Copies of this chain bind each other. A is one copy, B any other.
Amino acid sequence: MQPNVLICGMGGNTLPDSVKQDDQPWLAEDYSRIRRFSEQLCAPLAPEDMGLQACPEVSPPRWHLAHTTWFFETFLLSPHLPGYRVFHPEFEVLFNSYYNGIGEQYPRPQRHLLSRPTGEQVLAWRQQVDQAMARLIAARPDLSALITLGLNHEQQHQELLLTDILYSLSFNPLAPALTQPQPITGEPGALTFQTFAGGLVDIGAHAGFAFDNEAPRHRVWLEPYRLANRPVTNGEFRDFIRDGGYRRPELWLSDGWAWVQQHGIQRPLYWHDDLQQHFTLAGRQPLQAGRILAHVNYYEADAYARWAGLRLPTEAEWEHAADQVSVTGHFVDSGTCQPGAASDAPLSHLFGDVWEWTASAYQPYPGFQAANGAVGEYNGKFMCNQMVLRGGSCATSRDHIRASYRNFFYPHLRWQFSGIRLAGDAQ
């Protein structure tokens, strides 16, 4: 939910090797492609959908289009493009998400009340910014690191745009569909485990772009462990429910049980009470047993693992394993926006499909330093009360994810495509 920040210094003055000055042609093209994709994602939306916000944690699609534009105007154009005039002086406050260093923010729960600027005005703003950015990219190769950050930021909001609109639409009894259903076929792949010897391993960013929270790369001691070959499926989680999973306090963390009790929780988000259907971006659909489970929170993931006699992996365990496979999987690029069928291949689905809850609290790596200035607020200030998730989902862009990527959410939240991969101590 909170976008992350580039490792490198934000002033652009300490450009890392990984972002070379001669990558300008690539950058202009990427800028154009990524920015356009934000608008393409809104194509199936009715204008009326563009302002929806069903809870403080989600934002309206129109706000996402505006906030990502605000990023480029605030951090790139205003300080670095001579003669640039902001589109509207009040937008700096209206579309600031949480950067205290920039100044005040419009209250987050009220973003749905910003009917103005209208969608048309936001698109005009995007156009002005994109034209100015084209000039800036050409003129200032030294800013490519910060621009790359802006593009990764936009990709994060593309994922949020999808998860947010799914959440907001779920309150409409008409069950609107934005995409086509994608039924799966066949039985889910068998669940197997692979053992890792552990020892003193290296964890963290080591090449290419990364956010600051992935650094520095550092040593971690791992005891021998084993990891499931694939995430938990809808059918497996339904077994947990039918076995009284939501009624047995001994399976739950104390805060998790309090959450279950207080809200009367009986099933994952978007599941119907018949446990046969769920709400998706393709509208109301049959719940297929072999499909990878999504929309559970940390408490549910932890309870399921305890019920299964296992546990969740730590983020170091996860990353150590993921470092051994390539970044392939089911991403937003496929256009389906739903997790796929569970495979029986070894170490499959680590990337894409669903973010996998780890057992690790989101905390700084040893030696972590936040960047100076407002962009330093990206990650460091959220390192408390949240849990780490790994691997990206069916709503993530393929070129946005990597083994060291750390996503993080509060343990009670469920609106992301978040699922469960089991782990255990080596036997």
A interface residue numbers (CB < 8 A to B):
2, 46-52, 54, 62, 90, 93-94, 98, 100-101, 106, 110, 112-119, 168-169, 171-174, 176, 200, 218-221, 223, 249-250, 252-257, 298-299, 302, 359-361, 363-364, 366-367, 377, 381-385, 411, 425
Contact = CB atoms under 8 A, between A and B. Distances in A.
Closest 7 CB pairs of A and B: A361-B361, A100-B249, A48-B115, A254-B381, A113-B171, A49-B115, A223-B366
Contact of A50 (B48, B113, B385): B48
Contact of A381 (B54, B171, B253, B364): B253
A172 B114 contact: yes
Contacts of A62: 48
A273 to B, nearest CB: 16
Contacts of A250: 100-101, 377
Nearest to A168: B113
Contacts of A298: 384
A424 B100 CA distance: 26
A257 B174 contact: no
A94 B171 CA distance: 11
A326 to B, nearest CB: 28
Given A2-B254, A54-B113, 13 more contacts: A51-B52, A52-B113, A94-B173, A101-B250, A115-B168, A115-B169, A117-B174, A219-B221, A220-B221, A221-B221, A253-B382, A257-B381, A298-B384
Number of copies: 4
A254 B47 contact: no
B119 A48 contact: yes
Contacts of A116: 46, 48-49, 172, 174, 176
Contacts of A223: 218-219, 366-367
A265 to B, nearest CB: 16
A334 B403 CA distance: 53
B47 A48 contact: yes
Contacts of A46: 115-116, 118
A100 B250 CA distance: 7
Nearest to A374: B250
Nearest to A383: B253
Contacts of A110: 54, 171
Contacts of A171: 110, 113
B52 A255 contact: no
Contacts of A48: 47, 50-51, 62, 115-116, 118-119
A52 B115 contact: yes
B221 A384 contact: no
A117 B367 CA distance: 53
B254 A173 contact: no
Contacts of A119: 48
B425 A367 contact: yes
A62 B366 CA distance: 45
A302 to B, nearest CB: 8
A382 B218 contact: no
A221 to B, nearest CB: 5
Contacts of A168: 113, 115
Residue in A168, A299, A385 with the greatest tally of chain B CB atoms within 10 Å:
A385
A113 B381 contact: no
27 contacts: A46-B115, A47-B47, A48-B50, A48-B119, A49-B115, A51-B51, A52-B112, A90-B174, A94-B174, A98-B254, A100-B249, A100-B257, A101-B250, A110-B171, A112-B112, A113-B172, A115-B169, A115-B176, A200-B200, A200-B221, A252-B381, A253-B384, A254-B381, A254-B382, A255-B385, A298-B384, A361-B361
